[in-house]
Chain A
Amino acid sequence: MLNRLFPHPLMSVTLTLVWLGLVNTITPGNLLLGVILGIVLPLVTSVYWPNRPRLRRPLMVVEYGLIVLWDIVVANVQVAKIIAFKRNEKIHSHWINIPLDLTSPEAITVLAGTITMTPGTVSTMLASDGRAILVHCLHTDDPEGVRDDIKARYERRLKEIFQ
């Protein structure tokens, strides 16, 4: 019964908080509306998202978020340097194929998003069986190093969080 009313409890909480953040003032009326949104939206969308992702270690999400934030700042500086100071002929772009150990769709989505937001890499697509991800790297002289870096830095942590 409780499961049917709240197919995604975390999503319900998030939606309520996002609503309160959007209106920017906490009044009982806003809270009520937020809670209603938090109950109704997961209910009507649960058809498209039948399984609840399991978070094994929720605290690691915070660590992961901080690492990614830091990497985004570093990435911005690196990419800005490449764009501003490197001549076009000296920019060596590479395709990198990263085999995935992750299987949960949510984890792969987070990994793909992380890759796009961080150091000079954009994730472009998955292998059709979903076990490898194709990444375009703006500039590197060591494609294998970039691959191992992504696997060790992000995928390992996501594996601990999701599986």
Chain B
Amino acid sequence: MGMITEIVIAFFLVVSGVFGLVGSFGLIKLQSTLQRLHAPTKATTLGVGGVLIASMLYFLLVKGSFSFHELLITLFLFLTAPITANFIAKTFMQAHLKDSDLPPTGRDHGWSLYDMPPGSTED
């Protein structure tokens, strides 16, 4: 394969490695749980994305076949990562934060973790 192809693929692999490393470093460096939540949801997206782009380029330019799997992995990642982050955040808040630690909703009803939705009976 061509020199340029190799360089481009290697570039994406290195980029993904760097972001994966920084994301993991964030997990040990940042102080609070909610701050740590930011590291895996962001820095890792580009970490995984870089590997996927490199893999797609490799199959397209070197093996000469187009692979859909990387597109699907991207799609599934984008669907699942926010949901996981949301679950972790909610579990943490349920266990460690009180209603008074949060800013007010500015509405008649409180945040959904601490307040029943309108129209339901409290029991």
* Chain A residues close to B by CB (< 8 Å): 18, 20-22, 24, 72-73, 75-77, 79-80, 83-84, 88, 91, 93, 95-97, 99, 112-113, 115-117, 120, 122-132, 134, 136, 138
Are B72 and A122 neighbours in the complex by a CB distance under 8 Å?
Answer: no
Give bound CA distance, A7 to B103, whole Å: 40
Q: Is B8 an interface residue (CB 8 A)?
A: no
Are B102 and A95 neighbours in the complex by a CB distance under 8 Å?
Answer: yes
Q: Is B85 an interface residue (CB 8 A)?
A: yes
Q: Is B25 an interface residue (CB 8 A)?
A: yes
Give bound CA distance, A155 to B47, whole Å: 27
User: For window 1-58 of chain B, which residues contact chain A by CB distance below 8 Å?
Assistant: 18-19, 22-23, 25-26, 29-32, 34-35, 37-39, 41-43, 45-46, 49
Give bound CA distance, A129 to B103, whole Å: 16
> What is the CB-to-nearest-CB distance from B20 to chain A, in angstroms, rounded to a whole number?
10
> What is the CB-to-nearest-CB distance from B52 to chain A, in angstroms, rounded to a whole number?
13
Are A136 and B78 neighbours in the complex by a CB distance under 8 Å?
Answer: no
Q: List 14 A-B contacts (CB under 8 A).
A: A83-B23, A83-B30, A84-B25, A88-B30, A95-B102, A95-B103, A112-B82, A117-B41, A117-B82, A120-B38, A125-B111, A127-B115, A128-B110, A128-B117
Are B38 and A21 neighbours in the complex by a CB distance under 8 Å?
Answer: no
Q: Is B98 an interface residue (CB 8 A)?
A: no
Are A97 and B71 neighbours in the complex by a CB distance under 8 Å?
Answer: no
Number of B residues with CB within 8 Å of any CB on chain A: 53
Q: Which of B35, B72, B105 contacts A91 (CB 8 A)?
A: B35
Known interface pairs A21-B69, A97-B103, A112-B86. Does A83 touch B41 (Cβ–Cβ under 8 Å)? Answer: no
Known interface pairs A21-B69, A116-B41. Does A132 touch B46 (Cβ–Cβ under 8 Å)? Answer: no
Give bound CA distance, A88 to B36, whole Å: 12
Residues of A within 8 A of B23 (CB): 80, 83
Q: Which of B67, B82, B83 contacts A24 (CB 8 A)?
A: B67
User: For window 68-85 of chain B, which residues contact chain A by CB distance below 8 Å?
Assistant: 68-69, 71-72, 75, 78-79, 81-83, 85
Are A124 and B93 neighbours in the complex by a CB distance under 8 Å?
Answer: yes
Are B41 and A128 neighbours in the complex by a CB distance under 8 Å?
Answer: no
